[in-house]
Amino acid sequence: MRRMRRRGIRWSGQRMSYLERAMAERYWIEVHVEGDWPVDEEMLRRTVLATLLHQNAPSVEVAVVVTDDDSLRELNRRFRGIDAPTDVLAFPDETRGPFVGAPGFPHYLGDVVISFPRAQEQAGRAGHPVEAELQLLVVHGVLHLLGYDDRSEPERAEMWAAQEAVLKALGVQVNLPD
């Protein structure tokens, strides 16, 4: 059994560990790393949690998968008709609607899938750590799950403002493209 370390995040002046806050808010956050990538899973969980808290999300379950370019290329081809790898894809739960789940259980929000090699490449180009790039991609993906879009300029501006606010709350500095 893996020993859990208590780490806190600061949110609205309060310091709570991820576990304490997640249990209090009843968020279920899963992180799966497919491959031998040097990924801090707890950091990604805290990033998902910070995004959900910033957006005042209800009790939800989110999964984050970190994988390779080939997997993202296949998913991008199958679900978006684009035969090319990408950095992040978000798959919201398609069954969302009037269904009310069992009391005490979070609603399944969806999955965020990230290409580690793509994140590494983008971090190198932007001049910030790969951990910061992974956090940016997690925030971006979770915002898509929550209904944000970036197809039009006004939508993009709103989404990027939310991204920047979450990253700032986490103390993450990234060099975003214009």
Contact criterion met (CB below 8 Å) for 28 and 106: yes
Report DSSP letters for 64-124, one per residue: EEEE-HHHHHHHHHHHHS--S--SEEEEE-TT-SS----TTS-EEEEEEEEEHHHHHHHHH
pLDDT in tens, the chain (178 residues): 333 333 444 444 455 566 555 555 568 899 999 999 999 999 999 999 999 999 988 888 999 999 999 999 999 999 999 999 899 999 998 765 544 556 666 788 999 999 999 999 999 999 999 999 999 999 999 999 999 998 999 999 999 999 999 999 999 998 876 6
* Residue 44: CB atoms within 10 Å: 22
Pairing, β 14-17 against β 8-11:
antiparallel
In order of their start, the domains of the chain are 18-170 (3.40.390.30)
* Rounded CA Rg of the chain: 16
Report field, pTM of the whole predicted structure over 0.85 = no
